[in-house]
Amino acid sequence: MALRVAAHFGTEIISADSRQCYREMSIGTAKPSAEELSEIRHHFINSHSITEELNAADYEKLALGYCADIFSRRDTAVVCGGTGLYIKALCEGIDPMPPADRAIEKQLQHDYETRGIEWLQEATRAEDPIFFAEAERQNPARLIRALAFRRSTGQSIMAYRSGQRKARDFHVIKTALTLPRQELYDRINRRVDIMIQEGLWEEAEALYPLRELKNLQTVGYSEIFDCIEGKTSREESIGLIRQHTRNYAKRQLTWFRKDAEYAWFAPDDTAALLEYVQGQMKK
């Protein structure tokens, strides 16, 4: 859909995927194909090394730069991706905050992997009840980030959320794609199988020596690392990739549905989406 919309407006695509920017992670992040990348110019794809740690504040700065570059040549830019916090950072801005201690993050990640989501939820509830009251409680990455921030700074991460939107010198039109849940889950399962056929297992094996990197604490890689370490069988790890991807898709839907500015479309209904976008442009 992003390719079709970008082609319609004769413009370029800015990725809002927090992992497709890393050159070393291709199959497991479902990057656009070489043909697709040659068809439409993309930004924030294969732009960084896996050893570089980026966050939403970094993305805000980068994406605003991409926008300025595109707007110097075009009236429209297309942003596409599923990392909701990155999209929010571009559209609304993100509050500056001190960094969390990386060693504390790593320890919490290890504790979560060994003790489970219920332990992580209870620790977050006990140490940062203000955050926990509003948290996506099934999202371990967010819980780890908030708990690490609390332990690093002694403050709740909520203290740095002003809720003030930054002014942007461009108009934002938000659209999202949806499928019936069973169809979505079936497609996720098939996509995982295709990734395995295309070499995801070998890609993860090559990255195994770097497994401690935060960027590799990602669905599709973590499960294979566990298999390499003998914690699961190959078939079990593939089943977990399917399951965890479905879980992630559910969390994405929860995130985007909270934002009433999104208009929802079927993935193949390009005409309806373009009609909506063009109508919004006239306002």
Q: Domain-by-domain residue ranges, the chain?
A: 2-95+170-281, 102-160
- pLDDT at position 109: 87
Mean pLDDT for all residues in the chain: 94
- Using the CB atoms, write b or e for 268-277: b if 16+ within 10 Å: eeeeebbebb
> Residue 221, Cα to own-chain centre: how many angstroms?
15
Q: Is the pLDDT of residue 274 over 90?
A: yes
Closest CA to 141 of 56, 35, 238: 56
* Tens digits of residue pLDDT in 191-207: 999 999 999 999 999 99
Length of the chain equals 283
In the structure encoding, which two tokens stand for residue 29, read together? 């992040």
Amino acid (1-letter code) at residue 239: G
pLDDT score, position 139 = 82
Q: How confident is the model at residue 53 (pLDDT cuts 50, 70, 90)?
A: confident
155 residue type, one letter: Q
> Per CATH, the architecture of 2-95+170-281 is what?
3-Layer(aba) Sandwich (3.40)
pLDDT of residue 97: 82
Instruction: Provide CATH code, domain 102-160.
Output: 1.10.20.140
- Non-local (6+) Cβ contacts of 89 within 8 A are 56, 57, 59, 60, 63
Rounded-to-integer distance, Cα 91 and Cα 165, Å: 8
d(CA 93, CA 111): 32
